[in-house]
Amino acid sequence: NLSDKLDKAFHILKGHGKITDVNVADTLKEVRRALLDADVNFKIAKDFTTRVKEKALGENVLTTLQPGQLMVKIVKDELTQLMGGDVEGINLSGNPSVILMSGLQGSGKTTFSGKLANFLKTKKNKKPLLVACDIYRPAAINQLHVVGDQIGVEVYSEPENKNPVEIAQNAIKHAKANGFNVVIVDTAGRLAVDEEMMTEIANVHRAIQPQETLFVVDAMTGQDAVNTAKAFNDRLNFDGVILTKLDGDTRGGAAISIKSVVNKPIKFIGTGEKMEAIDVFYPSRMAERILGMGDVVSLVERAQEQYNEEEARKLQKKIAKNEFGFDDFLSQIQQIKKMGNMKDLVGMIPGAGKALKDVEIEDDAFKHIEAIIQSMTPAERSKPSLIDVKRKARIAKGAGRKVEEVNQLMKQFDQMSKMMKMMQGGAGKNLMKMMGG
Ligand code: GDP
Ligand code: MG
């Protein structure tokens, strides 16, 4: 992926004590190749490296003590610029504020509509209404109702009505009459850009005059994402981009290209299927992520929402005294589960994506882990070293799992304890907070 490629590029710099014109050029070539591989448009990549080179020469990279780090900083700053500089919010000035979702089928419109409603409800104290304007499949209306139930947000739909313009207009009336201050209109997409879809969404757009039109795009679709963005922007002149499926390893080359081609800010990112997997888009963090530094800030921020200081302090003491046990492990798992998809979270830890690649982190696995821990005695939980072969067999039987799974859990527990110990100093402190609560 892009990050690996850039790692390699910077390795060229870091590997040499002294930097020469030659290896700056080599590095830039690698950077450009990495961007191209990540589906960044050719011209954008070329302009980018030219600017970086000028800056590097301007700042006399060659004569500084740590040229590699300065280069990383220059590349990072340029990337940040390329993706949009400042953070842009969404316009909530209307009464109600109407937000229209656009994008291809499967891009994540319905999921994101739910995430946004949940975000506005819980973080911004809004009263949102979701509107089902995907009239082609009954399942689509159902899907939005399921999402609405999940987050406790009302969904407006008219299953018999085949006119999305009318439905959207009626929904806004309903919102005004019932005190909703945000209306989120979910629409139908097609698998590819087509005229009928464009006409339909343009009609809805014209009829309801949304404060905010958002274009939702799957970050994994690469160069196609750029073409789709352009087509929608030509018709709707949308206000912002939502980049979904930025989970785990997707490094977001699309973010760079889309911003450059349509010149519209990316406002939010989706990082998983759960309703909590939404983050405000921060260009600088995304630049760090692309550069493989890990999205530590987002991780810490999300963690802090779940974080209970008192508990965390207790936990830290336990770890320091080697008293971290399975009961703590269990409560950590429960915390982590609340925070969203495990793979997303691990992906945000710098370096951990690689280190933990082989560790099974399926969400489902939690159930089995919980069962195994629950069949341990309190003594075993607080002192895992007690667990010998005989006890393992008993625990496995009690949990209805295989002994190998107990072994594996013991190993994971061991790794986690070690990791937590390691993280106690420095930057790890923030991660410690994440573990607490
Ligand atoms: P729509 O057709 O545009 O409404 O797309 P949906 O909201 O139905 O999403 C299509 C699929 O993508 C569903 O299976 C979602 O669960 C999934 N999805 C949506 N957003 C994300 C995301 O941020 N990450 C991941 N991994 N999956 C997502
Ligand atoms: Mg949908």
| Rounded distance between C-alpha atoms, residue 79 and residue 307, angstroms | 32
Check whether 377 is labelled as a binding-site residue.
no
The verdict on whether residue 110 carries a ligand-binding annotation is yes
| Strand-pair partners of 132 | 186
CA-proximal residue: ligand 1, atom 5 (nearest): 108
The reported pTM is: 0.66
Fold of 97-293: Rossmann fold (3.40.50)
Among 201, 185, 189, which residue's Cα sits nearest to residue 103? 189
Nearest CA to ligand 1 atom 28: 273
| Other beta carbons less than 10 A from residue 334's beta carbon | 12
Give the pLDDT confidence score for residue 318 in this predicted structure.
76
Q: What's the distance, CA 424 to chain centroid? A: 25
Q: Is 188 annotated as a binding residue?
A: yes
In this structure, which ligand is nearest to the CA of 141?
A: 2
Cα dihedral 67/68/71/75 (nearest 10): -170
Is the predicted pLDDT of residue 302 greater than 90, yes or no? no
The residue whose C-alpha atom lies closest to atom 20 belonging to ligand 1 is 108
Q: Is 247 annotated as a binding residue?
A: yes
**Residue among 142, 221, 273 to mutate when testing ligand 1 (max atoms within 8 A of CB):** 273
List, chain by chain if needed, residues with CB within 6 Å of any ligand 1 atom.
Answer: 103, 105-111, 189, 244-245, 247, 270-273, 277
Tell whether 109 is in a known binding site: yes
**Long-range pairs, 363-370, Cβ under 8 A, ≥24:** 363/337, 366/333, 366/337, 366/342, 368/399, 368/401, 368/405, 369/333, 369/409, 369/412, 370/330, 370/333
| Topology (CATH level 3) of domain 2-83 | Four Helix Bundle (Hemerythrin (Met), subunit A) (1.20.120)
Q: Specify the pLDDT at position 2.
A: 54
Write the residue with the smallest CA distance to atom 12 of ligand 1: 108
Quote the mean pLDDT of the chain: 80
pLDDT, residue 157, reads: 97
Ligand 1 geometric centre to CA of 106 (Å): 6
Residue 60 confidence class, pLDDT cut points 50, 70, 90: low
**Residue 156 has what pLDDT?**
98
Is 64 labelled a binding residue?
Answer: no
The answer to the question of whether 81 is labelled as a binding residue is no
| Fold designation for 299-435 | 434 Repressor (Amino-terminal Domain) (1.10.260)
Closest-approaching ligand to the CA atom of 102: 1
Give Dmax (Cα) for the chain: 71
Q: What is the rounded distance in angstroms from the CA atom of residue 165 to the CA atom of residue 175?
A: 15
| Residues of each domain in the chain carrying CATH 3.40.50.300 | 97-293
Give start-end residues of each CATH 1.10.260.30 domain in the chain.
Answer: 299-435
- Given a cut of 50, whether residue 69 has pLDDT beyond it is yes
Distance between Cα 108 and ligand 1 center (Å): 4
Tens-place pLDDT, residues 186-245: 999 888 888 999 999 999 999 999 999 999 999 888 778 888 999 999 999 999 999 999
272 C-alpha to ligand 1 centroid (Å): 8
For residue 10, is pLDDT > 80? no
For residue 106, the ligand closest to its alpha carbon is 1
Distance 77 CA to ligand 2 centre (A): 36
Taking the centre of ligand 1 as the mean of its atom positions, its distance from the CA of residue 270, in whole angstroms, is 9
What pLDDT digit, counting tens, does each position of 228-276 carry?
999 999 999 999 999 999 886 666 677 778 888 898 999 999 999 999 9
Ligand 1 atom nearest residue 101's Cα: 3
pLDDT digits (tens, 9 = 90+) for 106-128: 999 999 999 999 999 999 999 99
Range(s) of the chain covered by CATH 1.20.120.140: 2-83
Q: How far is the CA of 245 from the centre of ligand 1 (A)?
A: 7
- CA nearest 111: which of 281, 286, 295, 269? 269
Give the pLDDT band of residue 304 (cuts 50, 70, 90). low
Please give the residue that has the higher pLDDT: either 353 or 20.
20
Closest ligand to residue 228's CA: 1
CA of 128 to the centre of ligand 2 (A): 18
For residues 58-80, average pLDDT = 69
106 annotated as ligand-binding? yes
Whose C-alpha lies nearest to ligand 1, atom 10? 106
Query: What's the CA-to-centroid distance between 86 and ligand 2, angstroms?
Result: 30
- Tokens at 112, concatenated: 């994101």
For residue 103, the ligand 1 atom closest to its alpha carbon is: 3
Euclidean distance between CA atoms 312 and 334, whole angstroms: 14
Tell me the three state secondary structure of residue 264: coil
